């Protein structure tokens, strides 16, 4: 927490305050919270479904700015290793700003920025325009030390329980090495009771901007946002984490329903998550 605050001050960025963020959301907590991932199932969403998403609260993750739908907020991560600004991230930040400016209702759309590593992150933050810096909210991450399903279940219930939640505050969100997991915790901390995971396929399919129909309707971004085949399944690897993302999200869904009465849904039956999470009823 101290490192997040110190870095925010040196970079001139605001720290994520979930209470303030919650009060600024136009749709309120009685609407679903949609997390917009980058899987190919995004291309199956209908106009009606986007209308439903637009009436709720939504966050577009990582590559989402190339999609024409403008969410309530965007979420990005900085490169940990390069001394130079990440060209892809710089492009996505510019694209997000372009989308926000085009949509009157999203002029103050927050940009959620995972605390950048040094020195690369500082260079990347230098790429933010005044508008983006004004809307940027920086936060940190923390992993759990659980190594078994039983321990993970117990730790998640303790983490989400109202009596203990004040110990795990605001500007630091738990994760399992996954941006989707962090954003689920954000939604739970904010008080949402329905969280819908869209484009979180985890099945090895291409990213949505590789689809030929998407390219024809929008633009070819594959030469800018280059992704290797199967890269979308990396968070299912357990070489650097005790749980794959689908396993972690299932345990988190059980703990969230038990402690908070909140439910986490998969949006498409082709997602690996649909094997364990309920499907959202559009």
Rounded to whole angstroms, the Cα distance separating 46 from 118 reads 41
Query: Residue ranges of the domains in the chain?
Result: 2-275
Secondary structure of 242-257 in the HEC alphabet? CCCHHHHHHHHHHHHH
Alpha helices in 12-141 (DSSP H): 18-24, 47-55, 87-102, 120-125, 130-135
Q: For the chain, what is the largest distance between any 2 Cα atoms, rounded to a whole number of angstroms?
A: 52
Q: What angle do CA 266, 259, 20 make, to 5 degrees?
A: 80
Query: According to the model, what pLDDT value does residue 234 have?
Result: 47
Is residue 272 a contact partner of residue 201, using CB atoms and an 8 Å limit?
yes
Is residue 40 a contact partner of residue 203, using CB atoms and an 8 Å limit?
no
User: What tokens does 49 get?
Assistant: 């479904």
Query: According to the model, what pLDDT value does residue 260 have?
Result: 94
Rounded to whole angstroms, the Cα distance separating 113 from 137 reads 6
Other beta carbons within 10 angstroms of residue 151's beta carbon come to: 13
Query: According to the model, what pLDDT value does residue 46 have?
Result: 97
Is residue 266 a contact partner of residue 274, using CB atoms and an 8 Å limit?
yes
Structure letter (DSSP) for residue 66: G
Query: According to the model, what pLDDT value does residue 168 have?
Result: 45
Locate the DSSP E strands across the chain: 14-15, 33-36, 57-61, 73-76, 111-114, 136-143, 172-175, 194-198, 263-266
Q: Is the pTM of this model over 0.85?
A: yes
- Residue 152: name the closest of 174, 173, 137 by CA: 174
pLDDT tens digits for range 138-188: 888 888 878 788 888 888 998 888 655 544 456 788 888 889 999 999 999
Domain boundaries 2-275, corresponding CATH code: 3.90.1480
Rounded to whole angstroms, the Cα distance separating 170 from 80 reads 22
Is residue 195 a contact partner of residue 184, using CB atoms and an 8 Å limit?
yes
User: What tokens does 33 get?
Assistant: 């919270």
Q: Which residues of the chain have pLDDT under 70?
A: 1-2, 26-28, 79-85, 104-107, 116-127, 162-170, 229-242
Instruction: Return all residues near 282 (Cβ < 8 A) that are at least 6 apart.
Output: 48, 49, 52
Rounded to whole angstroms, the Cα distance separating 203 from 19 reads 35
Query: According to the model, what pLDDT value does residue 53 have?
Result: 96
């Amino acid at each position: 927490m101290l490192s997040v605050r110190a870095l925010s001050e040196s970079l001139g960025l605001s720290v994520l305050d979930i209470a303030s963020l919650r009060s600024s959301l136009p749709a309120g907590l009685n609407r679903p919270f949609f997390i917009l991932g980058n899987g190919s199932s995004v291309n199956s969403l209908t106009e009606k479904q986007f209308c439903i998403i637009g009436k709720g609260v939504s966050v577009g993750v990582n590559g989402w700015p190339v999609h024409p739908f403008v969410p309530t907020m965007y979420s990005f991560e900085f490169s940990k290793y390069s001394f130079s600004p990440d060209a892809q991230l710089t492009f996505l930040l510019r694209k997000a700003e372009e989308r926000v400016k085009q949509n009157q209702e999203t002029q103050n759309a927050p940009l959620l920025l995972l605390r950048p590593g040094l020195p690369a992150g500082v260079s990347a933050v230098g790429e933010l325009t005044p508008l983006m810096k004004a809307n940027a909210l920086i936060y940190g991450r923390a992993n759990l030390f659980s190594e078994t399903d039983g321990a993970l279940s117990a730790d998640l219930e303790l983490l989400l329980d109202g009596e203990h939640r004040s110990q795990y505050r605001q500007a630091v969100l738990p994760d399992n090495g996954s941006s989707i997991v962090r954003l689920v915790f954000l939604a739970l901390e904010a008080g949402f009771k329905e969280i819908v995971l869209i484009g979180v396929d985890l099945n090895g399919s291409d990213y949505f901007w590789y689809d030929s129909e998407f390219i024809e309707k929008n633009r070819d971004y594959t030469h800018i946002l280059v992704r290797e085949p199967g890269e979308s399944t990396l968070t299912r690897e357990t070489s650097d984490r005790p749980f794959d993302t689908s396993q972690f999200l299932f345990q988190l869904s059980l703990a969230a329903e038990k402690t908070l009465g909140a439910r986490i849904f998969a949006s498409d039956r082709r997602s690996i998550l649909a094997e364990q999470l309920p499907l959202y009823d559009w």
